[in-house]
A and B are shown apart, each in its own frame.
Chain A
């Protein structure tokens, strides 16, 4: 998909939260979201994601890394669902182990993509979660 063909979702006023302890990935994931016109915030681990929601913030989409210090993605996803957070949560991780992926999904994910995240993978997430209709 060329730069000119990328959808601009700014009008839909979607919001997203990037949850990742790696600064390189934070930067890339935020850029991917911004390129599609999606406003976004970033936190460094699962606990910060939970705290953000406890303070009243809410997002349409959460991009959740799995391996993080303090509180990992699986724990954070479970906690957010227990809190009644209905945001769409997409797990994004380099881990391909089927058991860990299954545990992550069962924690309450709506979708899962392997890193590295690309525009195509992000659009796939948005399409699957009904944020974007491919034409």
Chain B
């Protein structure tokens, strides 16, 4: 089962969902906090759900306050960078570029893609952590090739 967990993790990196930062977090896990990455991920998804809701409401209002939207997205990008959520981070960057260009349509389009990537990552990580818990603790965190 450890092998299955390792393969799933490898695929998350190969498909670009996660980057090196995720491995940095896994290496912080110790006996005192064996589920640190899962806890931080849960915190991330809770915080990012709030930001998505704020942005959704701001976009639904119709009048685009690009400064406010950019501010929300700056926070979102920061969190995504910190946990290694690579694809989500890329969409955040695109959204901010559209904000700076004052491109409302670009913002709307990118935001839909961002929500999709966010949702996909959430499901994949939930699956990964569930299997990792079943497999039990591993001796060391290994970097994917």
Q: Which residue in chain B gives the minimum CB-CB distance to A2?
A: B140
Are B82 and A28 closer than 8 Å at their CB atoms? yes
B53: Cβ under 8 A from any A Cβ: no
Partner of B82, one of A2, A3, A67, A116: A116
Pick the residue among A2, A25, A35, A94 that contacts B28 (CB under 8 A).
Answer: A35
Contact between A115 and B47, CB atoms less than 8 A apart: no
Q: Tell me the interface secondary structure of chain A in the complex.
A: helix
Beyond A3-B30, A3-B140, whether A24 also contacts B82 by CB under 8 A is: yes
Does B36 contact A31, Cβ atoms closer than 8 Å? yes
Q: Decide: B78 and A115 in contact? CB cutoff 8 A.
A: yes
The distance in angstroms between the C-alpha atoms of A115 and B39, with both chains bound, is 20
CA distance A35 to B24 in the complex (A): 12
Identify which of A24, A35, A119 contacts B47 (C-beta below 8 A).
A24
Q: Which range contains the number of A residues in contact with the other chain?
A: 10 to 19
Let me know if A32 is at the binding interface, CB within 8 A: yes
Bound Cα distance from A3 to B32, whole angstroms: 14
What is the interface of chain B, defined by CB distance below 8 A to chain A? Answer: 21, 24-25, 27-28, 30, 33, 36, 39-40, 43-44, 47, 74-75, 77-79, 81-84, 140
Which A residues are within 8 Å of any B CB, using their own CB?
2-3, 21-25, 27-28, 31-32, 35, 67, 94, 115-116, 118-119
Complex A-B: 21 CB contacts under 8 Å: A3-B27, A3-B30, A22-B47, A22-B75, A22-B79, A24-B40, A24-B44, A24-B47, A25-B82, A27-B40, A27-B43, A28-B25, A28-B40, A35-B28, A67-B74, A94-B77, A94-B78, A115-B78, A116-B24, A116-B81, A116-B82
